[in-house]
Chains A and B, each alone.
Chain A
Amino acid sequence: GDSVTQMEGPVTLSEEAFLTINCTYTATGYPSLFWYVQYPGEGLQLLLKATKADDKGSNKGFEATYRKETTSFHLEKGSVQVSDSAVYFCALGGQGGKLIFGQGTELSVKP
């Protein structure tokens, strides 16, 4: 069945460092792909999305490109801030209206 695999955390970076969080997926067809962010004690918020191959989603300095050939959707940011500390979830849109999530990657940014 469909699945999403993310790199394990926690990821600890210094402020202004470059961020990459890897995400790969297995799916039938061509699902939409999403990145969500969860701040402590809160629900998830949509960060960005891509609906077809080679699409690039971007928001708040974060980017991810839908790569069909490598079945990947890696999240990147050129310069992280302390306020980016959160848990990041990669997800794909499955059949029947279901969203399938990766296990989440915790990011901690130190000043």
Chain B
Amino acid sequence: DGGITQSPKYLFRKEGQNVTLSCEQNLNHDAMYWYRQDPGQGLRLIYYSQIVNDFQKGDIAEGYSVSREKKESFPLTVTSAQKNPTAFYLCASSPREGRSYNSPLHFGNGTRLTVT
């Protein structure tokens, strides 16, 4: 079955360490996204990529970095510069449809990151 795999489901790190969250999709989607979810705040866009080797900052990119070397993979690195990294991180993908957006997103099951 096609889908999006995020690993691990739970991740624990010490403050000051960088950590990379994995996201892999086998849906052959061009676009991939990273969202952060905090209680009561909905989802906020961190980074997105509409094509391999290209990505754009979302609304809360500071303290994060991404790469898109392969179509199926979009890893997110949470750096030590992120002031409040503990959150639930969701990866998503969709077919690219030009400048307007009509396709729904397909989500992974998320990674819960706890930094102490």
Complex Cα–Cα for A101 and B100 (A): 16
Q: Verify A103–B40 contact, CB threshold 8 A.
A: yes
Interface size class of A (residues with CB under 8 A): 20 to 34
What's the least CB distance linking B58 to chain A, in Å?
Answer: 7
Chain B contacts for A89, CB-based, 8 A: 42-43
CB pair A94–B107 under 8 Å, yes or no, is: no
Taking CB atoms and an 8 Å cut-off, the chain B residues in 39-85 that contact chain A are: 40-43, 45, 48, 50, 56, 58
Assembled-state Cα–Cα distance A76/B64 (Å): 38
Q: How many residues of B contact A (CB 8 A)?
A: 30
Per-residue interface assignment for chain A, residues 48 to 71, with 1 indicating a CB less than 8 Å from any chain B CB and 0 otherwise: 010100000000000000000000
Assess the B102–A98 pair: CB atoms within 8 A.
no
- With contacts A42-B109, A98-B45, A98-B58 taken as known, whether A31 is within 8 angstroms of B101 at the C-beta atoms is yes
In B75-115, the 8 Å CB interface with A consists of 90, 92, 94, 96-97, 99-102, 104-110
| Chain A contacts with B in 1-50, Cβ cutoff 8 A | 31-32, 34, 41-46, 49
**Residues 17-58 (chain B) with a chain A CB within 8 angstroms:** 31, 33, 35, 40-43, 45, 48, 50, 56, 58
- Mark out the residues of chain A between 73 and 111 whose CB falls within 8 Å of any chain B CB in the assembled complex: 89, 93-99, 101-104
Report the separation of the CA atoms of residues A45 and B94 in the bound assembly, to the nearest whole angstrom. Answer: 13
Q: Give the 5 A-B residue pairs with the shortest CB-CB distance, closest first.
A: A93-B101, A43-B107, A103-B42, A46-B104, A101-B43
| 12 A-B residue pairings within 8 Å (CB atoms) | A43-B92, A44-B43, A45-B107, A49-B104, A93-B101, A97-B48, A97-B94, A97-B101, A98-B45, A99-B105, A102-B42, A103-B42
